[in-house]
Amino acid sequence: MNTVPQNDLNIILDLLSLNWTKLVGFKEIGSLKHTGDFEIAIPILSIEAKRKIHHSGEIGIGLSFRANSIVLFTDKSSTSFITGMKYNLKYLNIAANYDLSVFRNLYLSTNIVFGYLVEASGHINFHTLGGGYVQNADYFPKRDLGIKLGIGYRYRKLDFRLKYYFGLNVLDSDGKARMIQFDVGYRIIN
């Protein structure tokens, strides 16, 4: 008979995160084109609690406060008035997750993520005037729902994860978020 240990609780604190965020289905505005933006970020807060439910699976809940960037730009040779825009979005995320061990320390992961937009700001570059800063950009809805699928590897107390996020909500008039995320976490309780 297989029994699950009663004290098998894991707490993981993310130390480093590399994100690449992109809008898909984005209708280009004039000569503005969309590009993804790489960013290396230390999450403001990211913690997960997981509990083993059978010999190869864990369920858990995560809480994170992260910053993401979305970049719109034009060709530098363009004569348009706006030459670029960058939005900085800070989300408070709550995720329910399930991890399935597939081979030793390698596991598959799936998450359902609910995000709440806490702060949105933007920086706009003008062709001849330089740049301007926009605080509290109200172009994006406050709530986002998405699914993360990924793979992870545990090495001693470190947790390496590569995940792909599918945003289900439309974030502006026509674009949905997609994100590739690489995290390094530290198991503070194992």
Tens-digit pLDDT profile for residues 127-180? 666 666 666 656 677 888 999 999 999 999 899 999 998 888 776 555 677 788
Residue ranges of the alpha helices (H) in the chain?
Answer: none
Burial class (CB in 10 A: 0-12, 13-18, 19+), 113: buried
Read off φ and ψ for residue 96, nearest 5 degrees: -100, 130
Question: Which residue in 139, 147, 150 sits closest to 167, CA to CA?
Answer: 147
- Which range of 16-30, 37-51, 175-189 scores highest in mean pLDDT? It is 175-189
Question: For the residues 24-28, what does the mean pLDDT come to?
Answer: 57
What pLDDT score was predicted for residue 112? 95
In DSSP terms, 94 is beta-bridged to 63, 114
For residue 70, give every residue at least 6 positions away whose Cβ sits within 8 Å of its Cβ, in sequence order, or none.
21, 22, 23, 34, 37, 86, 87, 89, 171, 177
The domain made up of 10-189 has a fold known as Porin (2.40.160)
Q: Is the pLDDT of residue 72 over 70?
A: no
Tokens describing residue 18: 């590399």
Encode burial over 21-39: b for 16+ CB neighbours within 10 A, e otherwise.
bbbeebeeeeebebebbee
Domains of the chain, residue spans: 10-189
Question: What predicted TM-score, i.e. pTM, was given to this entire model?
Answer: 0.74
